[in-house]
A = this chain, B = another copy of it.
Amino acid sequence: MARTKGFDPEQVLGRAMELFWRQGYAATSISDLVAHLGIARASLYATFGDKHDLYLAALDRYIRNPEPDPVQVLAGPGPVLPALRFLLDTYAAAPSPGRPPGCMVVHAAVECPADDVAVRGRLDLNWGSMEVALTSALLRARAQGEIRADAEPASLARFLLVLMQGMQVVNGPGQGAVRAADAARYALEGLR
């Protein structure tokens, strides 16, 4: 497929993801995409459909390849709290050099109209699977005596999920990183 088209669709999709991640959906025009992807407009439409289709494919790719992958980090075996701490620290840390700042899912959530069911469905699914991973990790943590015996893993998972999204909003220059780190520390202390 790549040879007949003269480009590798997976590579091009990766570049599209990078651009949408950095700029968001609305601010990225088809002309931006053509320039950034280095393929002809006609090839873009023929391979990926319209801008919204390409965005959905890019969002899917982002969601399938989280770094780090919360589901994997929390999967265990072993103690849960260090894994959770690692995850929260990653959300509080400055973005890696060379990667766009922020989170593509958070950006999608903030700019996506309520009636864009295709994007909303992906957000719900993404947060849902993170919630499930957190819940089962917290159930294990409770069984292992790492968190209070009266903790409610499902509520706790939702709370942590919401906090992690907030950390990605405030994180940035100025007081951002300090605020995010403080929030993580407080949340972890409250679990014991």
Contacts and interface: CB of A to CB of B under 8 A. Distances in A.
Interface stretch (A33-41, A60-68, A70-78, A164-172): A164-172
**Does more than half of chain A's interface fall in helix, strand or loop, or is it mixed?**
helix
Nearest to A175: B124
Given A166-B167, A168-B169, 16 more contacts: A24-B27, A27-B27, A106-B110, A114-B173, A123-B174, A127-B179, A128-B175, A131-B179, A158-B178, A159-B187, A161-B170, A162-B166, A162-B180, A165-B165, A166-B169, A169-B169
Interface of A: 23-24, 26-27, 101-102, 106-107, 109-111, 114, 120-121, 123-124, 127-128, 131, 155-156, 158-159, 161-170, 172-176, 178-180, 182-183, 185-187, 190
